[in-house]
Structure 1
């Protein structure tokens, strides 16, 4: 996967993660994209650990790992972003 595909996948994963998380996220789009790229990398690593990084057809399990990792990173990134900006969040 080239750097352009990494950015595109990170953008999509970041947007999906922001849409899945409840409430309003204060995370800017560029940071959500970086968290999505990180989620893709971590998800690939976890999928390799489970032995499902390369399957015939569409890799549903690999993409599920990527999405879960992106959701976790976006949630953590949003908390860190809000803390640095002084915005209060509801738990």
Structure 2
């Protein structure tokens, strides 16, 4: 993988993770690094799911793919936030 691909994956992961945190109500106690990791994982899984469903190759923006990615990021943020609050109680 080239450095530009790595940088773009990190930027996209940060955006997807941030949007995932926005769709989850309440405050989440996650670091920026955890948000980035959740975003990268959600972007990869969302892209894979969209290609399996056949909605990844459209003539314009892939809104369904982005919705899948943000939804998966929301699930990941919720799961991590709940598991981290249980550890500290």
**TM-score category (smaller protein):** 0.7 to 0.9
Q: What is the aligned-residue RMSD (CA, Å)?
A: 1.5
Structure 2 residue 43 is the aligned partner of structure 1 residue 4: no
Q: Which residue of 2 aligns with 1:26?
A: 29
Distance 2:27 2:40 in 1: 21
Calculate the TM-score normalised by the size of structure 2.
0.87
Structure 2 residue 60 is the aligned partner of structure 1 residue 50: no
Calculate the TM-score normalised by the size of structure 1.
0.85
Structure 1 residue ranges without an equivalent (≥5) = none
Output one character per residue of 1:27-84: Cα deviation in whole Å (capped at 9) or x when no partner.
1111011001111011011101110122111111111111111111111111222233
Q: How many aligned positions are there?
A: 86
Partners of 2:24 and 2:74 within 8 A in 1: yes
Distance 1:52 1:19 in 2: 24
Structure 2 residue ranges without an equivalent (≥5) = none
Structure 2 residue 80 is the aligned partner of structure 1 residue 77: yes
Q: Which residue of 1 aligns with 2:39?
A: 36
Q: Which residue of 2 aligns with 1:65?
A: 68
- State the 4+ residue runs in structure 1 displaced beyond 3 angstroms: none
